[in-house]
């Protein structure tokens, strides 16, 4: 079953989403972190405690491989369930390769992936997760869901172990489509998660049931 991650660094959103019992992880990025108040390290630690053993992706800010590795190790020391997000690129691949080595290597999530070639390279470098950006591809007239499907087919054919996280999800239809395309995970904003719950016929159905009960047995309650 495709897992759902919440793409957020907001503690209230995370707490509420976790209470629904549908969230298996958290992804963050510098943009999301910058929206929250306070220092980033304590915020990350709070999020990690809330998630228990489930993964929390935290992105590095450095751009050179050596600096990415140093920063990643500092971040990973905050909690055992942290996954390091590394932007796609030559320096990123170098960093992922170094971080993933050894029996206790640091798990990496290669982000900003826009092609199958990038996904293959990220997986070969040792990424545990590869994140194609569906919405951003759609924005420029490309087929974001099609990329996810092509990645999923190739990963399955060649038994590539990296998990595909469909990112840059813009609406509930994206979630349905990437699930059908074979994504292992979809990471969604809280606004999209709420939209996934709702359907006008569900609301009408509840309203009708309550109205019928009130008319037939106005004084009876269970």
The pLDDT of residue 218:
78
- Give whole-number Cα distances, 129 to 23, 183, 205, 215, in Å: 17, 11, 40, 54
The pLDDT of residue 103:
72
- Give the active site residue among 35, 73, 85, 157: 85
pTM assigned to the model: 0.94
* Helix pair 40-51, 11-19: axis angle to 10 deg: 0
The pLDDT of residue 33:
96
* Helix pair 116-125, 144-157: axis angle to 10 deg: 40
Tell me: pLDDT of 104 over 80.
Answer: no
Percent of the chain with pLDDT over 70: 99
Q: State the CATH architecture for 3-216.
A: Alpha-Beta Barrel (3.20)
pLDDT in tens, 31-59: 999 999 999 999 999 999 999 999 999 99
Tell me: pLDDT of 153 over 80.
Answer: yes
Q: What is the mean pLDDT of the chain?
A: 95
Residue-wise DSSP of 133-157: BHHHHHHTT--HHHHHHHHHHHHHH
28: DSSP letter:
-
The pLDDT of residue 127:
98
Residue 166, classed as helix, strand or coil, is strand
Tell me: pLDDT of 190 over 80.
Answer: yes
The pLDDT of residue 188:
98
Active site residue 53: no
């Amino acid at each position: 079953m495709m897992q759902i991650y919440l793409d957020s660094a907001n503690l209230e959103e995370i707490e509420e989403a976790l209470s629904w019992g549908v969230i298996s992880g958290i992804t963050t990025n510098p943009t999301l972190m910058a929206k929250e108040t306070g220092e980033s390290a304590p915020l990350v630690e709070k999020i990690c405690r809330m998630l228990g053993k489930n993964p929390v992706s935290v992105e590095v800010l450095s751009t050179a491989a050596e600096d990415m590795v140093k920063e990643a190790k500092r971040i990973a020391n905050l909690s055992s369930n942290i996954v390091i997000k590394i932007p796609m690129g030559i320096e990123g691949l170098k960093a992922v390769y170094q971080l993933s080595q050894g029996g206790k290597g640091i798990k990496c999530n290669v982000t900003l992936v826009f092609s199958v070639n990038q996904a293959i390279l990220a997986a070969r470098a040792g990424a545990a997760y590869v994140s194609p950006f569906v919405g951003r591809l759609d924005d420029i007239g490309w087929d974001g869901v099609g990329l996810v499907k092509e990645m999923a087919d190739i990963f399955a054919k060649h038994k590539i172990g990296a998990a595909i996280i469909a990112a840059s999800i813009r609406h509930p239809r994206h979630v349905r489509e990437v699930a059908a395309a074979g994504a292992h995970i979809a990471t969604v904003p809280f606004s999209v998660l709420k939209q996934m719950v709702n359907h006008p016929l569900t609301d009408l159905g509840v309203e009708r049931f309550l109205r019928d009960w009130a008319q037939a047995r106005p004084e009876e309650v269970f």
